[in-house]
């Protein structure tokens, strides 16, 4: 399969290149960057020096459609909606890593993103690319909307419990802490080293856009409206997300019950690990351990005093939260082992 990547110079584009250049079943044919057209990939992604001599190309839809079978769009929100219809018309499969096709209701784009969706008919066709919930639909999809990084962390920790009907779906609190790569590669005052280093900075305590995805997917599982109260914090790490969910039980649960609930949904999932150890330093999920991998680690603690269940998830925001999950989706779409190109553990130490 010949692959094109639009937005190949960003952090997510770089991770796609890192994975796909060594993927045994695909070939990267076109890597698009308006800013760096004509430059070698390794000038922007120095970790790729000696791996490829490919150069960035300017955006040329006819070149992409002529040379590629599949295209990844790793562009800012609102950009891919202008490109994807043309790719689809030319018969390409598309995996969009932006938010432009994640939400099913066109009205939600006005509410959460402040713009009217120009191709609402494609929202019905797009498949939300979370394999643990939508593997069968992804298999036959032409357009996959790769989930947001915070959405992925939250949905995976909440889905089994919401589906089982054991928590109050009107009272779910999610606190997420994310590394600096979550802000992308374009510098700003808030991402300047002197301002970003050492922080635990609340930056979106209410109204985070990923709330819409989380509620959409959980409501479908619950068969009714699920309300999520989400808050986000920027923390002093480069990569990774730790999501902590506070859930209030509608029936008594033991630790064994919780284990069974998670295993009931995730027993055969290749990239879900349940982490609740009694020894060692890393007894519960920690982003430090999943960096560079496509794993999502899940753990929990019961709080009988407050009738509360605390669930934590850890992912690499650039891998399971973006590029790794997109390649997992690609593998499913083209009918190969979904672990292909992704069977690497995280780094330790990092």
The catalytic residues are 149
CA-wise closest residue to 239 among 320, 344, 325, 154: 320
For the four alpha carbons of 101, 106, 109 and 112, in that order, the dihedral sign comes to: negative
Bridge partners (DSSP) of residue 251 are none
Here the tokens at position 15 are 């991770």
Cβ within 8 Å of residue 106, ≥6 positions away: 116, 117, 120, 123
Here the tokens at position 74 are 């790793």
Separation of alpha carbons 69 and 65, rounded Å = 7
Here the tokens at position 9 are 């110079």
Check if the beta carbon of residue 65 is closer than 8 Å to that of residue 87: yes
| 3-class SS of residue 119 | coil
What DSSP character marks residue 180?
G
CA-wise closest residue to 86 among 102, 106, 66, 105: 66
Here the tokens at position 340 are 């292909």
Helix axes 323-333, 11-20, angle to 10 degrees: 50
E-strand ranges in the chain read 2-6, 27-32, 70-73, 93-96, 127-128, 143-145, 172-178, 200-204, 228-235, 241-248, 272-274, 296-303, 308-315
| 3-class SS of residue 315 | strand
């Amino acid at each position: 399969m010949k692959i094109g990547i639009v937005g190949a110079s960003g952090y997510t584009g770089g991770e796609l290149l890192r994975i796909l250049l060594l993927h045994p079943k695909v070939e990267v044919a076109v890597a698009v960057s308006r800013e760096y057209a004509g430059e070698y990939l390794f000038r922007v992604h120095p970790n790729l020096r000696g791996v490829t001599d490919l150069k960035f190309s300017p955006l040329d839809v006819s070149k992409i459609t002529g040379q590629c079978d599949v295209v990844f769009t790793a562009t800012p929100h609102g950009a891919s909606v202008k490109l994807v219809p043309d790719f689809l018309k030319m018969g390409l499969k598309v995996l969009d890593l932006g938010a432009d096709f994640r939400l099913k209701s066109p009205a939600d784009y006005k509410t959460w993103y402040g713009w009217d969706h120009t191709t609402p008919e494609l929202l019905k066709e797009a498949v939300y690319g979370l394999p643990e919930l939508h593997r069968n639909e992804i298999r036959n999809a032409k357009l996959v909307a790769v989930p947001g990084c915070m959405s992925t962390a939250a949905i995976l920790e909440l889905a089994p419990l919401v589906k089982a009907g054991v928590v109050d779906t009107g009272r779910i609190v999610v606190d997420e802490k994310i590394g600096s790569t979550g802000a992308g590669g374009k510098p700003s005052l808030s991402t300047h080293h002197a301002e970003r280093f050492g922080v635990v900075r609340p930056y979106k305590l209410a109204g985070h856009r990923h709330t819409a995805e989380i509620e959409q997917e959980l409501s479908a599982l619950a068969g009714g409206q699920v309300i999520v109260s989400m808050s986000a914090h920027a923390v002093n790490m480069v990569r990774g997300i730790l999501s902590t969910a506070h859930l209030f039980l509608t029936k008594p649960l033991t630790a064994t019950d919780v284990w069974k609930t998670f295993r009931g949904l995730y027993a055969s999932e290749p990239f879900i690990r349940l982490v609740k150890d009694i020894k060692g330093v890393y007894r519960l999920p920690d982003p430090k351990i999943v960096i560079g991998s496509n794993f999502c680690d899940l753990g929990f603690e019961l709080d009988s005093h407050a009738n509360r269940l605390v669930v934590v998830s850890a992912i690499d925001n650039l891998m399971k939260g973006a590029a790794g999950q997109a390649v997992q989706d690609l593998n499913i779409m083209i009918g190969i082992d979904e672990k292909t190109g992704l069977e690497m553990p995280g780094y330790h130490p990092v």
